[in-house]
Protein backbone atom coordinates (compact mmCIF):
# COMPACT_ATOMS: atom_id res chain seq x y z
CA UNK A 1 0.00 0.00 0.00
CA UNK A 2 1.44 3.34 -1.06
CA UNK A 3 0.31 6.36 0.86
CA UNK A 4 1.40 8.57 -2.04
CA UNK A 5 0.78 7.79 -5.71
CA UNK A 6 2.22 9.77 -8.60
CA UNK A 7 1.40 9.77 -12.29
CA UNK A 8 2.77 9.41 -14.81
CA UNK A 9 5.85 7.40 -13.86
CA UNK A 10 7.69 8.54 -16.96
CA UNK A 11 7.12 11.55 -19.16
CA UNK A 12 8.83 12.75 -22.31
CA UNK A 13 8.06 16.21 -23.66
CA UNK A 14 9.26 18.53 -26.38
CA UNK A 15 10.90 21.74 -25.31
CA UNK A 16 8.30 24.43 -24.74
CA UNK A 17 5.46 22.09 -23.82
CA UNK A 18 3.26 22.54 -20.75
CA UNK A 19 3.78 19.65 -18.33
CA UNK A 20 1.59 18.34 -15.52
CA UNK A 21 2.57 15.77 -12.89
CA UNK A 22 -0.09 14.48 -10.53
CA UNK A 23 0.05 13.29 -6.94
CA UNK A 24 -2.67 11.64 -4.85
CA UNK A 25 -2.36 10.72 -1.21
CA UNK A 26 -4.40 8.71 1.25
CA UNK A 27 -3.27 9.96 4.67
CA UNK A 28 -4.00 13.07 6.66
CA UNK A 29 -1.31 15.62 6.06
CA UNK A 30 0.09 18.78 7.52
CA UNK A 31 1.87 19.69 4.28
CA UNK A 32 2.69 18.40 0.81
CA UNK A 33 6.13 18.74 -0.74
CA UNK A 34 7.38 18.67 -4.31
CA UNK A 35 11.02 17.66 -4.67
CA UNK A 36 13.39 17.57 -7.64
CA UNK A 37 16.20 15.08 -8.13
CA UNK A 38 18.65 15.45 -11.01
CA UNK A 39 20.52 12.38 -12.32
CA UNK A 40 23.30 11.52 -9.92
CA UNK A 41 22.42 14.50 -7.81
CA UNK A 42 20.88 15.34 -4.54
CA UNK A 43 17.29 16.18 -3.76
CA UNK A 44 16.04 19.75 -3.74
CA UNK A 45 12.80 21.02 -2.28
CA UNK A 46 10.72 22.93 -4.84
CA UNK A 47 7.54 23.64 -2.92
CA UNK A 48 5.87 23.03 0.38
CA UNK A 49 2.15 23.76 0.48
CA UNK A 50 -0.83 23.02 2.64
CA UNK A 51 -3.51 24.82 0.63
CA UNK A 52 -4.10 26.66 -2.63
CA UNK A 53 -1.36 27.35 -5.09
CA UNK A 54 2.27 28.44 -5.20
CA UNK A 55 4.34 29.71 -8.12
CA UNK A 56 8.08 29.95 -8.56
CA UNK A 57 9.29 30.99 -11.98
CA UNK A 58 7.92 28.50 -14.50
CA UNK A 59 6.81 26.06 -11.82
CA UNK A 60 3.33 26.04 -10.30
CA UNK A 61 2.08 23.72 -7.58
CA UNK A 62 -1.53 23.32 -6.57
CA UNK A 63 -3.24 21.29 -3.90
CA UNK A 64 -6.86 20.27 -3.28
CA UNK A 65 -7.13 19.14 0.32
CA UNK A 66 -10.68 17.79 -0.02
CA UNK A 67 -9.72 15.60 -2.98
CA UNK A 68 -6.28 14.74 -1.52
CA UNK A 69 -4.63 15.66 -4.78
CA UNK A 70 -1.81 17.91 -5.92
CA UNK A 71 -0.40 18.86 -9.29
CA UNK A 72 2.97 20.22 -10.35
CA UNK A 73 2.93 22.21 -13.58
CA UNK A 74 5.91 23.31 -15.64
CA UNK A 75 5.26 25.99 -18.24
CA UNK A 76 7.50 26.40 -21.30
CA UNK A 77 9.52 23.30 -20.42
CA UNK A 78 13.25 23.27 -21.04
CA UNK A 79 15.81 20.42 -21.25
CA UNK A 80 17.27 21.55 -17.91
CA UNK A 81 13.93 20.62 -16.33
CA UNK A 82 14.78 16.97 -17.03
CA UNK A 83 14.83 15.31 -13.61
CA UNK A 84 12.84 13.08 -11.31
CA UNK A 85 10.04 14.91 -9.52
CA UNK A 86 8.97 13.46 -6.20
CA UNK A 87 5.80 14.16 -4.27
CA UNK A 88 5.96 13.75 -0.49
CA UNK A 89 3.54 14.42 2.36
CA UNK A 90 4.12 15.23 6.00
CA UNK A 91 1.78 13.09 8.03
CA UNK A 92 -0.33 14.93 10.58
CA UNK A 93 0.14 12.00 12.94
CA UNK A 94 3.59 10.74 13.73
CA UNK A 95 6.81 12.40 12.69
CA UNK A 96 7.54 11.28 9.17
CA UNK A 97 7.17 11.93 5.49
CA UNK A 98 5.68 9.58 2.91
CA UNK A 99 7.10 9.65 -0.60
CA UNK A 100 5.82 8.84 -4.04
CA UNK A 101 8.07 6.81 -6.33
CA UNK A 102 8.74 9.80 -8.53
CA UNK A 103 8.04 10.94 -12.08
CA UNK A 104 10.98 10.83 -14.46
CA UNK A 105 10.75 13.78 -16.85
CA UNK A 106 12.80 14.11 -20.02
CA UNK A 107 12.50 17.30 -22.07
CA UNK A 108 13.82 16.96 -25.60
CA UNK A 109 15.28 20.02 -27.37
CA UNK B 1 21.72 25.80 0.62
CA UNK B 2 20.91 24.18 3.94
CA UNK B 3 23.98 23.05 5.84
CA UNK B 4 23.72 19.30 5.68
CA UNK B 5 26.63 17.02 4.88
CA UNK B 6 26.76 13.27 4.47
CA UNK B 7 29.91 11.21 4.73
CA UNK B 8 31.20 9.21 3.08
CA UNK B 9 29.65 9.95 -0.33
CA UNK B 10 30.60 6.54 -1.70
CA UNK B 11 31.54 3.31 0.02
CA UNK B 12 32.13 -0.27 -1.00
CA UNK B 13 32.19 -2.81 1.79
CA UNK B 14 32.13 -6.55 2.23
CA UNK B 15 29.20 -8.60 3.46
CA UNK B 16 29.27 -9.01 7.22
CA UNK B 17 31.27 -5.89 8.02
CA UNK B 18 29.89 -3.01 10.10
CA UNK B 19 29.37 0.32 8.36
CA UNK B 20 28.57 3.75 9.77
CA UNK B 21 27.23 6.65 7.75
CA UNK B 22 27.30 10.15 9.15
CA UNK B 23 24.91 13.05 8.69
CA UNK B 24 26.02 16.44 9.95
CA UNK B 25 23.87 19.59 10.01
CA UNK B 26 24.63 23.19 10.88
CA UNK B 27 20.98 24.36 10.92
CA UNK B 28 20.11 23.30 14.48
CA UNK B 29 17.01 21.52 13.16
CA UNK B 30 15.25 19.22 15.59
CA UNK B 31 14.30 16.44 13.18
CA UNK B 32 16.78 14.27 11.31
CA UNK B 33 15.92 11.34 9.05
CA UNK B 34 17.69 8.50 7.28
CA UNK B 35 16.14 7.17 4.05
CA UNK B 36 17.19 4.66 1.48
CA UNK B 37 16.33 5.02 -2.18
CA UNK B 38 15.98 2.00 -4.41
CA UNK B 39 14.59 1.69 -7.94
CA UNK B 40 10.83 1.20 -7.92
CA UNK B 41 10.48 2.01 -4.23
CA UNK B 42 11.10 5.69 -3.90
CA UNK B 43 12.45 6.95 -0.61
CA UNK B 44 11.81 4.75 2.41
CA UNK B 45 12.32 5.79 5.99
CA UNK B 46 14.86 3.79 7.98
CA UNK B 47 15.02 5.71 11.27
CA UNK B 48 14.43 9.23 12.40
CA UNK B 49 15.29 11.43 15.36
CA UNK B 50 13.19 14.13 16.99
CA UNK B 51 15.86 15.29 19.42
CA UNK B 52 19.13 14.34 21.07
CA UNK B 53 18.91 10.71 22.14
CA UNK B 54 15.31 10.54 20.84
CA UNK B 55 14.98 8.18 17.89
CA UNK B 56 12.32 5.97 16.38
CA UNK B 57 12.04 3.30 13.73
CA UNK B 58 10.79 3.75 10.20
CA UNK B 59 9.32 1.23 7.78
CA UNK B 60 12.62 -0.48 6.86
CA UNK B 61 14.60 -0.39 10.11
CA UNK B 62 15.66 -4.07 10.32
CA UNK B 63 19.46 -4.39 10.17
CA UNK B 64 20.02 -0.71 10.97
CA UNK B 65 20.64 1.25 14.15
CA UNK B 66 21.05 4.96 14.76
CA UNK B 67 22.46 7.30 17.34
CA UNK B 68 22.14 11.00 18.00
CA UNK B 69 24.34 12.20 20.82
CA UNK B 70 24.49 15.79 19.54
CA UNK B 71 21.94 17.96 17.75
CA UNK B 72 24.15 18.24 14.69
CA UNK B 73 25.06 14.59 14.11
CA UNK B 74 22.90 11.59 13.22
CA UNK B 75 24.71 8.32 12.64
CA UNK B 76 23.35 5.32 10.76
CA UNK B 77 25.01 1.97 11.45
CA UNK B 78 24.68 -1.27 9.55
CA UNK B 79 25.75 -3.78 12.17
CA UNK B 80 26.56 -6.51 9.64
CA UNK B 81 26.15 -5.35 6.06
CA UNK B 82 24.24 -7.51 3.58
CA UNK B 83 23.91 -7.25 -0.19
CA UNK B 84 20.26 -6.19 0.23
CA UNK B 85 21.53 -3.04 1.91
CA UNK B 86 23.21 -1.89 -1.29
CA UNK B 87 21.41 1.38 -1.90
CA UNK B 88 21.64 5.14 -1.94
CA UNK B 89 21.16 6.59 1.53
CA UNK B 90 19.83 10.09 2.08
CA UNK B 91 19.80 12.10 5.26
CA UNK B 92 17.22 14.84 5.69
CA UNK B 93 16.55 17.51 8.29
CA UNK B 94 13.54 19.62 9.19
CA UNK B 95 12.54 22.01 11.95
CA UNK B 96 9.29 20.15 12.46
CA UNK B 97 7.17 17.58 10.64
CA UNK B 98 5.17 20.41 9.03
CA UNK B 99 8.11 22.38 7.67
CA UNK B 100 10.31 22.05 4.63
CA UNK B 101 12.78 19.18 4.58
CA UNK B 102 16.35 19.58 3.34
CA UNK B 103 18.29 16.67 1.97
CA UNK B 104 21.93 15.71 1.94
CA UNK B 105 23.69 14.73 -1.27
CA UNK B 106 23.34 11.04 -0.61
CA UNK B 107 25.73 8.17 0.09
CA UNK B 108 26.05 5.37 -2.43
CA UNK B 109 26.75 2.16 -0.51
CA UNK B 110 27.67 -1.07 -2.26
CA UNK B 111 27.88 -4.31 -0.28
CA UNK B 112 29.81 -7.02 -2.11
Q: Could A96 and B45 be called an inter-chain contact, meaning their C-beta atoms sit closer than 8 Å? A: yes
- The minimum CA-CA distance between B105 and chain A, rounded to whole Å, is 4
Rounded CA separation A49/A61 (Å): 8
Residue B1's pLDDT is: 57
Contact A45 B58 (CB under 8 A): no
Per-residue model confidence as pLDDT tens digits over B59-84: 899 999 999 999 999 999 999 999 99
Q: Which residue of B has its CA nearest to A101?
A: B42
List CB contacts (< 8 A) between A88 and chain B.
43, 101
Rounded CA gap, A23 and A6, in Å?
A: 4
Q: Please answer yes or no on whether B103 and A43 come within 8 Å at the CB atom.
A: yes
Q: What angle do CA B49, B54, B58 make, to 5 degrees?
A: 45
Residue A95 pLDDT grade (very low, low, confident, very high; cuts 50, 70, 90): low
- A-B contacts at Cβ under 8 angstroms: 59
> Residue A41: pLDDT band by 50, 70, 90 thresholds?
confident
Q: Quick check: bond before B51 cis, omega within 30? A: no
* Alpha-carbon gap, residue A51 to B88, rounded angstroms: 32
CA atoms of B90 and B34, how far apart (whole Å): 6
The pLDDT confidence band at residue B99, using thresholds 50, 70 and 90, is confident
Amino acid sequence: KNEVEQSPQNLTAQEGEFITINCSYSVGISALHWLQQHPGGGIVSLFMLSSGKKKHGRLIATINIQEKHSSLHITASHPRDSAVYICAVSSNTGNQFYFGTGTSLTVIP
Amino acid sequence: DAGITQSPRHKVTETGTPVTLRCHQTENHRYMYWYRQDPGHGLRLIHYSYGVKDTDKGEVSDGYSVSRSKTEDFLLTLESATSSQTSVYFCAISESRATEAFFGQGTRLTVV
